[in-house]
Amino acid sequence: MRGRTTDLSDATVLQQEIAVEQEHVDRVYARLDELRRDASRAEKEGYRLAGVGTFGALVERDAMVFHAARRRHALDTEYEGLVFGRLDLKTEATHYVGRMGIRDEDSKPLVVDWRAPAAAAFYRATPADPLGVVRRRMIQSSRERVTGIEDDLLDPDAAPADMRVVGDGALLASLAKATGRGMRDIVATIQREQDEAIRSPASGVTIVTGGPGTGKTAVALHRAAYLLYSDRSRFAGGGILVVGPSGVFVEYIATVLPSLGEETATLRSLGSLVPGYDATRVDAGDVAAIKGSLRMRRVLERASHDAVPNGPSELRLLYRGTLLRLDSAALDKIRRQALPRGARRNEVRGHGFDRVFDALWAQARDHKVTGLPEKREFEAELADRNDFREFLKAWWPRFTPMRVLRWLADPGRLRAYATGVLSRDEIATLQGSFDALDAEGPTIADVALLDELDELMGRPRKPAKKSKNPFHVRDGIQEVSTYADRQAAARAQQVQREEDYREYAHIVVDESQDVSPMQWRMIGRRGSYASWTIVGDPAQTAWSGDPEELDRARDRALGSRKRASYALTTNYRNSSEIFAVAASVIRKIMPDLPLPSAVRSTGVDPADVVTTVTALPEAVRELTEKQLAEVDGTIGVIMPVPRRDEVAGWVAGLPERVQVVTALEAKGMEYDAVVLVEPAQIAVDRAGIRTLYVALSRATQRLTTVGTNPGWL
Ligand SMILES: Nc1ncnc2c1ncn2[C@@H]1O[C@H](COP(=O)(O)OP(=O)(O)OP(=O)(O)O)[C@@H](O)[C@H]1O
Equal CATH topology for 195-269+500-569 and 576-707: yes
Of the candidates 199, 595, 279, 567, which has an alpha carbon nearest to the alpha carbon of residue 445?
279
Q: What is the CA(671)–ligand 1 centre distance, in A?
A: 12
Q: What is the CA(376)–ligand 1 centre distance, in A?
A: 69
3-state helix, strand, coil in the chain (%, to 5): 45, 20, 35
Question: Which residue has its alpha carbon closest to ligand 1 atom 8?
Answer: 215
Of all atoms in ligand 1, which is nearest to the CA of residue 540?
Answer: 25
Q: Report DSSP state, residue 419.
A: B
pLDDT at residue 476 greater than cutoff 50: no
Q: What is the CA(184)–ligand 1 centre distance, in A?
A: 9
Residue count (the chain): 713
Per-residue pLDDT at 72: 64
Q: What angle do CA 694, 175, 593 make, to 5 degrees?
A: 35
Residue to substitute in 140, 186, 634 for testing ligand 1 pocket (most ligand atoms within 8 angstroms of CB): 186
Of the candidates 662, 684, 693, 661, which has an alpha carbon nearest to the alpha carbon of residue 574?
693
Residue 51 annotated as binding? no
Q: What is the CA(675)–ligand 1 centre distance, in A?
A: 20
Instruction: Give dist(CA 176, CA 192) in Å, integer.
Output: 20
Contact 101, 33 (CB under 8 A): no
**Considering the chain, what is the average pLDDT of its residues?**
88
Delimit the domains of the chain by residue range.
10-180, 195-269+500-569, 285-305+402-457, 315-396, 576-707
Per-residue pLDDT at 327: 94
Residue 370 annotated as binding? no
Residue 285 annotated as binding? no
Residue 211 annotated as binding? yes
Calculate the alpha carbon distances from 493 to 228, 230, 463, 486, 487 in Å. Answer: 17, 21, 22, 10, 10
Mean pLDDT of 248-260: 91
Q: Report DSSP state, residue 311.
A: -
With cut-offs at 50, 70 and 90, classify the pLDDT of residue 51: low
Q: Domain 576-707 classified CATH 2.40.10.120?
A: no
Calculate the alpha carbon distances from 587 to 350, 434, 594 in Å. Answer: 59, 36, 10
Q: What is the CA(178)–ligand 1 centre distance, in A?
A: 13
Q: What is the CA(80)–ligand 1 centre distance, in A?
A: 21
* Ramachandran quadrant class, 396 (left: phi over 0; alpha: psi -120 to 50; beta: rest): beta
Pick the more confident residue, 672 or 469. 672
Pick the more confident residue, 567 or 172. 567
Residue 217 annotated as binding? yes
Contact 244, 529 (CB under 8 A): no
pLDDT at residue 711 greater than cutoff 90: no
Residues flanking ligand 1, CB < 6 Å: 171, 174-175, 184, 186, 189-191, 194, 210, 212-218, 537, 540, 572-573, 668, 670, 697
With cut-offs at 50, 70 and 90, classify the pLDDT of residue 221: very high
Q: What is the pLDDT of residues 339-373, one digit of tens each?
A: 999 899 999 988 999 999 999 999 999 999 888 99
Of all atoms in ligand 1, which is nearest to the CA of residue 191?
Answer: 1
Q: What is the DSSP string of 344-364?
A: -TTTSHHHHHHHHHHHHHHHH
With cut-offs at 50, 70 and 90, classify the pLDDT of residue 94: very high
Mean pLDDT of 258-286: 92
Least confident range from 264-278, 477-491, 583-597: namely 477-491
Q: What is the DSSP string of 17-45?
A: HHHHHHHHHHHHHHHHHHHHHHHHHHHHH
pLDDT at residue 468 greater than cutoff 90: no
Q: What is the CA(570)–ligand 1 centre distance, in A?
A: 9
- CATH number for region 195-269+500-569: 3.40.50.300
Distance of CA 504 to the CA centre of its chain: 13
pLDDT at residue 75 greater than cutoff 90: no
Residue to substitute in 214, 509, 535, 586 for testing ligand 1 pocket (most ligand atoms within 8 angstroms of CB): 214
Sign of CA dihedral 57, 58, 61, 62: negative
Residue 53 annotated as binding? no
